[in-house]
Amino acid sequence: MPPGAPGGTVPFGCMRPQPAPIGKSGVTPLRTQVNYLKRKAQSSVFILWTGGILVCLLAVLLALLLSSYGSGDNVPVTTDPPVTETDPGSAQTGGTEPTDNGGETAAPSAQPSAASGSTILGETADAGQEYIDKLTFLGDSTTYGLRYYKMLSGGTDTTQVWTPTNGTLTLSYYATATIPYPAPGGTEITIQEAARQAQPEYLVITLGVNGVSFMNEETFKDCYTKLIQNILEVSPNTKIICNSIYPVGRSYEYLADINNNKITAANEWIKAVAAETGTRYSDTCSVLKDSEGWLRDDYQNGDYIHLNSDGFTAVLNYLNTLTVIYRE
């Protein structure tokens, strides 16, 4: 028989095509068609569910991104409240927040400050823009607004603001946190290395608001002291100003963790550190408070913890009228 004919020899390396299985009627069996349709339906449902889940995840991500901006002037909000390691001995409410019985909370009994009159900067004549241009500001998201609102020379590209890229800087990470140097987009280096390279004439430190929710006095002061020591070790001629932590507003969302009672106590700790290290303390928070001790509504950006441009103007005006008599 010729190769390939029915019953004949198949050439080496070839196989006779096999017909697809069919039913007696010559068509695909009904059960096979049903199974195929079921699989197709299941696949469609899976695709729909997967698409729905992805849409939900994107919506959540968008909501998180939007929530990271203040509702007032859209300043990035990067302070990290609340921290769960709350110090059980700390006060739980801010300012004069009413208690359940309608009364007012008393301010915590802070330890007497070791700060002397020379530690706290005193008022002088306005030093002018030349003095402001000499200041470098180290801080967290409560400092970032100086760049965002273009409050300093160089605007958003100023080299006078040292904050991490994400804005968050917790005092306990003083030795390992990195900042872009000399400006956004620069090399990420530690605070100490930035001080070594820049040798700033004046360094205004505004840190601690993230730490008040979980750091006790001993830990707070120890970290703050070591931060100063690290800076002076590599830049001994830098004049350090320990700036007070700014108050929060009455409508701040996380008052149970970060509040004005805790901030007031922490500012006393900062004063003590300034006295012990021979640096200076600036009571800047005093010009930001309303008559009840809250952050003034016209100074906050909508989230009741970060300043708006008017608030930063008040800060700079205050710093510009302080005597900086320093280590001789």
**Confidence grade of residue 92 (pLDDT, cut at 50, 70, 90):** very low
Under 8 Å between Cβ of 302 and 142: no
* Per-residue pLDDT at 98 exceeds 90: no
Torsion of CA 123, 191, 110, 143, to 10 degrees: 60
* Per-residue pLDDT at 113 exceeds 90: no
Q: Would you say how long the chain is, in residues? A: 328
Residue with the bigger pLDDT between 67 and 295: it is 295
Output the pLDDT for position 49.
67
- What is the residue type of 80? D
Output the pLDDT for position 64.
57
Q: What is the enclosing helix (H) or strand (E) of 32?
A: helix 30-67
Interval 122-170: pLDDT, tens: 887 888 899 999 999 999 999 999 999 999 999 999 999 999 998 899 9
Of 69-73, 142-146, 171-175, 280-284, the poorest mean pLDDT is in: 69-73
In this prediction, residues 189-211 reach a mean pLDDT of 97
**pTM (2 d.p.):** 0.68
Output the pLDDT for position 298.
98
No. of helices (H) and no. of strands (E), the chain: 7, 7
* Per-residue pLDDT at 119 exceeds 80: yes
* Summary mean pLDDT of the chain: 78
Output the pLDDT for position 219.
98
Nearest-angstrom CA–CA distance, 256 and 253: 9
Instruction: Assign 261 to helix, strand or coil.
Output: helix
Say if strands 202-206 and 135-139 run parallel, antiparallel, or are unpaired.
parallel
- List CB contacts of 284: < 8 A, sequence separation 6 or more: 206, 243, 244, 246, 315, 318, 319
Interval 15-68: pLDDT, tens: 444 444 444 444 445 555 545 555 655 666 567 667 777 777 777 666 555 444
Q: Which residue has the tokens 């010009």?
A: 287
Sheet bearing 161-162, strands edge to edge:
161-162, 135-139, 202-206, 239-243, 280-282
Output the pLDDT for position 106.
38
**φ/ψ of residue 272, rounded to 5:** -60, -40
Output the pLDDT for position 123.
81
In this prediction, residues 105-118 reach a mean pLDDT of 41
Interval 232-271: pLDDT, tens: 999 999 999 999 999 999 999 999 999 999 999 999 999 9
Under 8 Å between Cβ of 179 and 143: no
In this prediction, residues 209-237 reach a mean pLDDT of 97
Instruction: Assign 309 to helix, strand or coil.
Output: helix
* Per-residue pLDDT at 2 exceeds 50: no
Nearest-angstrom CA–CA distance, 208 and 76: 18
Output the pLDDT for position 77.
41
Which candidate, 171, 159, 255, places its Cα nearest to that of 199? Answer: 159
Which candidate, 304, 326, 324, 207, places its Cα nearest to that of 259? Answer: 304
Output the pLDDT for position 189.
98
Superfamily of the domain at 129-319: SGNH hydrolase (3.40.50.1110)
Q: Where are the beta strands (DSSP E) in the chain?
A: 135-139, 161-162, 178-181, 187-190, 202-206, 239-243, 280-282
Q: What is the DSSP letter of 301?
A: -
Count of CB atoms within 10 A of residue 135's CB?
21
* Per-residue pLDDT at 291 exceeds 70: yes
- List CB contacts of 72: < 8 A, sequence separation 6 or more: 300, 301, 302, 303, 308
Token pair recorded at residue 12 = 């080496």
Output the pLDDT for position 40.
59
